[in-house]
Structure formats: C-alpha cells, structure tokens
Chains A and B, each alone.
Chain A
C-alpha cells in the first residue's frame, strides 16, 4: 500500500469543526514519534554519544546503559528475557535475519519453510529468495476473513519443515492470526515458529511464552518510536533457537547482528515499548471506539460498503473498507486533506491491486475500491467525524460519476457483462 502524499496540502489548515488539516490516519505505514520518546532520546545524540561497545570509558558505559535499559523494556513488553532481544535496523531486517538465519542454521535438519500468502513482502520476498537456494516454501492460503486455517498448517508440516513464519497482525487489514494456536502446533511438531509482529507489538498483548513464539520481529516506528530501529526476539530456552548472522563484523548483539548500535534509536524503541505497555488497556479501548465510530458513521450513510477481513480478530485501530463502484485512487484525491492508503492498483508501484485483499477472495474490482484507515494514538473523535464526512461526500460524488453504479442501480449484473478490456 502507498499513500498519496504529494497531493496533500502542505500548509496547516483548520476545518469547520476545528480539526487541523491535513489529518494523519495512516498509522500502519508509520506513526509520529511520541514526544515522550523524543525526550528520552535527545541526550543520546550529543551528551551520551558514546559507542555502546566501548567498554573502557564512561562515554561507552553511558551508551550501554541506555541500550540495556531499552532491552529490558522491549523484553518486558513481550514477556522475553533481555538476552533474547537483538537490536536491528527495523522489521524488514528482523524478518530477513529470522528467516535466512534459521534457514541457514537448520539446513541439515530440513529445507522446508511454511508461510502465508498475506504476509508482508519482507517475509514473502525473503522466502522467495530462499527458493532460489533449494529451499522449499509452502504459501498457505487465508480464509475469507484473512485468517490462516490451522488444518491447512497441520497438513503442510512435514519431516523437512524447519520454520513456520506467520505474522501476528496484518499491515493492510489488521487481522490478527491465531498466533498462540500456531505456536502450540509448531512446538508439538518441533518446528521453529517466527512471527512478524511489527503491527501487533504495542497494540495488542503479545507474550512469547504464552503464544509459543520462538523468533519475533519488532519495529519501533509503528509504535510511536523512531524509524530505522527494530528488534528480533530469539528464544534462548525451551527450546533454544539459534540463528546464523547475515551481517558479519564486530560481533555485536552476541554475534547475531554486527554493527555499531543505533543508541538513540534503541533508547527510543525502549521508551516506546514502555509507554505502550502502560497505556495499552486504555489506548486499545479508545482506538477501537474511534474505529467503530468511523465504521458506523460511514456504513450508516452509504450502501454497498464492505469491510475487508475479520472484525472480530483485528487490531483496534484498523479499518479497511471497499466502496463498491468507486476507484480507490480517485477517492484518495477527493479526500486529499486526509492521509490514508488504498489497495488500488493506481496507488501501488506494481500497478497491481492489493495481493492481501486478493488473497481473501475479494474481487479485483473491490480491491481497487479499498481504503485503509489506520487510527492512532494522536487521532481525535473530531478528526474521525471529519474523515467520515469527507469520505461519505466523496463516495457519493464519485458514484454519481460512476457508470458501474448507474448500471448496478438499473439492475445490470456487472459480473455478467462482457467487458471490452477482458
């Protein structure tokens, strides 16, 4: 998914009901830094600039102290121990390290990896690369609600399976996979379970022990931390998981990830985790309330609007809707003072509609018509109401312009029409 940012007005405007424009509602793409996170990071740029690996002077110790405090905070949020947290440059690197690292380390044991078609590209493309090196990858389908079928997973595991990698929460539709059940199944079958929890950590409870997760990717900038920093959880016992490094060098992070630590970034990640842990119960209720308000506000006023993915198993701040007969990019243009994303081909680099929505069985027509709303910590109810109003009026306007809407209203079955371009 991509966001149409260039058409957004740059100057700050104020709408009739007092909300400041443009409104940011694309919190699955990234989140703004929480001011409390920035405050925690600032000393680590100039005063405490030391290299955390400098063991013989106070500058290094100060950096190391910042890093170790952050490690404790990250570990605590996900129920891990500090030695199980490896800092990386973000979730893409974490996914690469997890999948390639396990594949390399366990290649004597087997060459089979299982993932799902709705995973993030950081997982899918890593798996695709491994296929070039004689690994075998099973891409599980997902059901209409976006969830993996556990029976499919059970059937896919064979004696050569070394890794199952399934995300905790989907970045487009916010659907939460049955991670605990997947973890239990993997543990029973002696297969390592990696979960890309980029969108889930800090938003919904994640516990590596309760959910039997062996390796897990974490990102800072999806939870109001800085960009360019993330972490990988690697289980140390019951069972002990080992991974091969993909970056060689000075042997930082217990040899699993060489490279001087991004101390301010790591400090920021730690603080972001601490805030999420403290605020999660209150924040998730508030976000779900706003999300439902947006949904009801839109769906109460428009017909033929479809929610993509399960509403029950979903991140509190996510709403992904298809507006039938309206193309997503034209809808984004109409609400250009609101930053959201679309699954339309016209907004993607590949000119293909969202593969995640296609995986749910959503037709290409409805995938082109989808909008992802990512509601976050700093959104307000006034913003929700403004966005709903703008969406409703723009959809109505574009439907007046839509030959498909006209045909549907005339009773034409669009599925039966022989389209010239097909």
Chain B
C-alpha cells in the first residue's frame, strides 16, 4: 500500500488527538466501527449551545493509517463549522483530500459516520436537556 503524503502526514502528526468529557451536555461522542473489523473511531465534538458551532473536536482511532488520517482530517474539518454544516461533509470529500485508494474508501465512510454519530449524540443530549427547544426547532 503506498499512501499519499497527506495520509502519511496525518499518520505521523495526527491533529486533535484526545478525549473530552462525554458526560458534558455540550459534548457529542461518536463511536463507530468494531475491533473485529480492524477499525474503531471515536470522534468527539464540543458545541456552543447558542450558535451550534463546533468549537472543538477530538479523536482517537484504532485502525490502519488511512483510518487514522481520515478521522484526524475529520476533526480539522468540523472545527468552526455549525453542526448543520458539518453534516454536509461527505466521505468522498475525504477520499479526494487524502487521495485514498479504492480499498481504503471504507475508512472515509467510517469517518463520515463518526461525524454523524457525534452530532446525533449531541442533539440527543440537548433534546433530553431542553425538550422545549426541540419543539421550537422542529
């Protein structure tokens, strides 16, 4: 497998590695993949409740180099976006940016899933915390 320089860069210098308090209402956690499949990504976002802007993002990934790179890139991309903007990120954008070979496309799919799962988790928490806000929004 020969990787692009961007993948190698993310592998060697992963951005935003770490964990946030998953109990916090402002934090959304996405945990996707399975150890048996050789890929597990945990992506966390910290969202400003007023603006819905993702102010911080962290990840940890068990997986091959392109899985690490895909999730590292995902954290870079979601930061500063609103949750609705972040939901627009497609796995094909990640494939393009990292020049992933066809056998590694599933890594980008997993990264997209991780973003969605984190946002879903944050939304769910917010609904539980402030049910009236949800009604107003829907």
**Residue positions of A touching B, CB distance < 8 A:** 4, 6-7, 325-327, 329-330, 333-334, 344-347, 351, 353, 363-365, 368, 400-406, 414, 419-422
Contact = CB atoms under 8 A, between A and B. Distances in A.
B134 interface: no
A330 B40 CA distance: 13
Contact of A7 (B3, B31, B34, B39): B3
Contacts of A333: 3, 8, 11, 64-65
Size range of the interface on B? 20 to 34
A364 B36 contact: yes
B65 A329 contact: yes
A7 B19 CA distance: 30
Nearest to A410: B19
Closest 3 CB pairs of A and B: A419-B34, A365-B35, A403-B42
A345 B38 contact: yes
Contact of A329 (B1, B36, B117): B1
Query: Chain B's interface: helix, strand, loop or mixed, by majority?
Result: mixed
Given A6-B1, A7-B1, A333-B65, A420 B34 contact: yes
Contacts of B63: 327, 330
Given A330-B65, A401-B14, A401-B68, 9 more contacts: A325-B62, A326-B62, A327-B67, A346-B38, A365-B36, A365-B38, A401-B62, A406-B42, A422-B34
Contacts of B40: 403-404, 419
B17 A403 contact: no
Interface in B34-66: 34-42, 60-65
B95 interface: no
Contacts of B60: 401-403, 406
A334 B13 CA distance: 12
A327 B39 contact: yes
Interface string B14-40: 100101000000000001111111111
A403 B41 contact: yes
B5 to A, nearest CB: 11
Given A401-B68, A403-B42, A421 B32 contact: yes
Contacts, number: 96
B34 A421 contact: yes
B2 interface: yes
Given A346-B64, A402-B62, A404-B62, A327 B38 contact: yes
A26 B38 CA distance: 23
A405 B40 CA distance: 11
A363 B1 contact: no
A334 B68 CA distance: 12
A419 B36 CA distance: 9
A368 B36 CA distance: 8
A190 B22 CA distance: 66
B113 interface: yes
Contacts of B39: 327, 421
A368 B67 CA distance: 14
Contact of B38 (A353, A400, A414, A420): A353
A420 B29 CA distance: 13
B136 interface: no
A186 B65 CA distance: 47
Nearest to A353: B38
B1, B2, B38, B68: which has the most chain A beta carbons within 10 Å? Answer: B38
Nearest to A326: B62
A365 B33 CA distance: 12
B35, B67, B103: which has the most chain A beta carbons within 10 Å? Answer: B35
Contacts of B38: 327, 344-346, 353, 364-365, 368
A422 B32 CA distance: 10
Contacts of A347: 1
26 contacts: A6-B1, A6-B2, A325-B62, A327-B38, A327-B39, A327-B62, A329-B64, A329-B65, A346-B64, A347-B1, A351-B103, A363-B36, A364-B35, A364-B36, A365-B35, A402-B60, A402-B61, A403-B60, A403-B62, A404-B35, A404-B40, A406-B42, A414-B35, A419-B36, A421-B33, A421-B34
